[in-house]
Chains A and B, each alone.
Chain A
Amino acid sequence: MELFSSFLTAALLAILLQNSIFERALGTNILIYASRKKEHVIGFSLVIIYVTSLSSVIVWLLDSNFSHFKHFGILMPLLYILVISIIYILSLILVWRFFPGLFRKIRTYVHLSVFNCSVLGGLFLNSLHGGSLPEYIGFGIGTGIGFFLAGYLLYIAHPRLNSDLVPAAFRGLPITLVYVGIISLALYAFVGYATR
C-alpha cells in the first residue's frame, strides 16, 4: 500500500504540480504539433508514457548506483540519451516484427515523440525529485499523462486559436503560447504563488 501511495503521489506531482508543459514548458513545440490532430495527441502521449516509464526504471538504477560519481551530472544527458535510444530501437524492432500495421502508422512521428524535451526533461525532473522505484515509475507515467492533458486542452482550443477572429499576426503560434500561459497561470493555484 505504501508503494502504491508513493507511486500515485509521484504521478499526481508530475501531472499537476510539475506538469512538463504548464510548469516546465518542456516539449511545447511537440505539443503544438501534436495538438492539430486527436490521433496525434493520443499517439504522442502513449509513446511518451511508454518511453518515460520504461526509461525511469533504468534511470533509477543509474541514479541509485552512480549519482555519487563526481562527473555524473555532466554525463547525465549522454547516459539518458543512450537509455532512451536503446528503448527506442528495441521497441521499434518489436513493433516492426509483431505489429507491422501499427509500425506503419507511427513511423512518421515516433522519432519526434521519443527524442524531445518532454521525455528527456521528464527524466531529469525524475532525478531531481529522487525517491524509490515506484516514485520514479509514477513520475514517468505522470509526465506522459500531463502531456496528454495539455495536448487535449490545446486540441479542443485549436480551431478557435486559428480562427479569423484572432488578428493575423497573433493567429496560430503566438496566441497558442498566450493560451498555454493562461492555463499555466490557472494551474499555479495548486502550487500557490506569492508576489514579493
Chain B
Amino acid sequence: MTKEERLKKRHRSEKRFKLYGVASIFVALLFVLILVQNIFSKGSSAFMKTAINVEVFFDPELLELQNGASSDDILQADFFDITIETLLKAYPAKNLDEENELIDLFSTDAEIEIRKAFLENNNLVGKKINLEITASDDIDQLHKGNYPRDLPEDRRRISNFQLNIYDNLVESKKIVKNFNNYFFKNGDSRNPELAGIGGALVGSFYSILICLLLSFPVAVLASIYLEEFAPKNKITDFIEININNLAAVPSIVYGLLALQILLATIQLPRSTPLVAGITLALMTLPRIIIPCRASLKAVPPSIREGALAVGASKFQSVFHHVVPLALPGTLSGTIIGLAQALGETAPLILIGMVAFVVDIPSTPIDPSSSLPVQVYLWSESAERGFVEKTSATIMMLLSFLIVMNFIAVYLRQKFEKRWN
C-alpha cells in the first residue's frame, strides 16, 4: 500500500466515522418524529365525535309531563319510550332484530341527551325538534375511517344492515361531526364514545398539587441546608449519598413503599390523589434537590461575603441574597421534577389508581385516576374507539409536559443571572 492509498483510506475512515455520528443523531430524531406523528394521526380524530341527526317528537302520551314542569320532575320522568320511538324513526326496521341493530347505532346515553334537550327548553311537550344524538362507538369509528368495511360480515362488529342504514344516513346528510365535549367532561366509561379524561385531569391536578406543596418547600429547605449550612462531616456525606441514590431508585419501588407505609400502616384511603401526591412527592424530592443545590452552588461566594461584610448574619446573607438569586434555577428544576411526576405511572398503579372510576373526584380523598394511568387502562381495552382516546390522552399529557418544560426553560433564560 502506497502512502497516498493509506492516506486515502484514513480519510475514508474519518468520513465513515463522522457519518456514524450523523446517522445516530438522525435515527434519534427520526424516532421522535415517528412517535409524534403516530400519536397525532391516531389521536386527533378523538377530539371530534360523530352524531346522528334525528327528529324528536315529545309525544304527550308517552311523556307524563306538562309544559313548565320543574326540573326535579323532568329528572324523575321516564324518557325511555320517547327515546326508542325517536331512534326507530331514523330508518325503517322490519323486525325486532333489525330494530335492535338500529338502536345499537346510537350511544347508550341517547336517553340522557334527549332529557337534557328537554331540560334546557321545557315547553317542548307536543313539539318536534331536531337533535344530534351521539352515535355509538362502532359508527363513530366507521365514520372516521378507522374501521375496515371490507371484512366479511361475521368478522365485523357492524352488520350489513347497519352499514346500509349508515350509508343511507350519510346520503341524507344526517350524520354530522361535532366537537367531542364528552372527552373533556366525562369520567371513565366502558363505552368509548362516552369515555372522557375529566376525572383523570382532576385526579392528576390534585396529585401534582399535593406533590408540589409537599416536595417544593422540603426540597428547597434541604438543599439550602446541605449547600449553605451543613458542616462537612460524615452525616452530611451520608445524606448526600442517600439523595443521589434515591434519585436513581426505580419508581416502582416508591410504589411498594407507598403500599406498605401509606396504605397498609397508616391506612390512608386507596386510589386517591392524596396518596398519589405523597408518593410522587417522595419520588420527586431528590430529583428537585439536585438542581436546587446546583443553582445555589452557582451563586458566587462574593455575594455571601458581601452580605456578611456589612453585618448580616449567615441566615440573612443566605435568605436575603443567595436564595433570591438562585430562585429561577430552583423553580425551573422544580417544574421539570413535577413534569416527570406528572408522567409517572408505575407507582400509581400499585396504589390502586387503576380502579375503574366513573365519577369526577371533587376532593383529593375521592378515588380517582390520573392521565398516565388512564393511558395504561385504555391501552388494555380491546375496543377500537379506545385506541384513539388513548392517543388523544397522550396528546394532552404531552402538551402539558411541553408547556411545563417551556416555562422552565423560559424562567431560566429570562431571570437567571450569568456569573462570569
Q: Say whether A associates with B.
A: no
B interface residues (Cβ-Cβ under 8 A, vs A): none
Chain A residues in contact with chain B, CB under 8 A? none
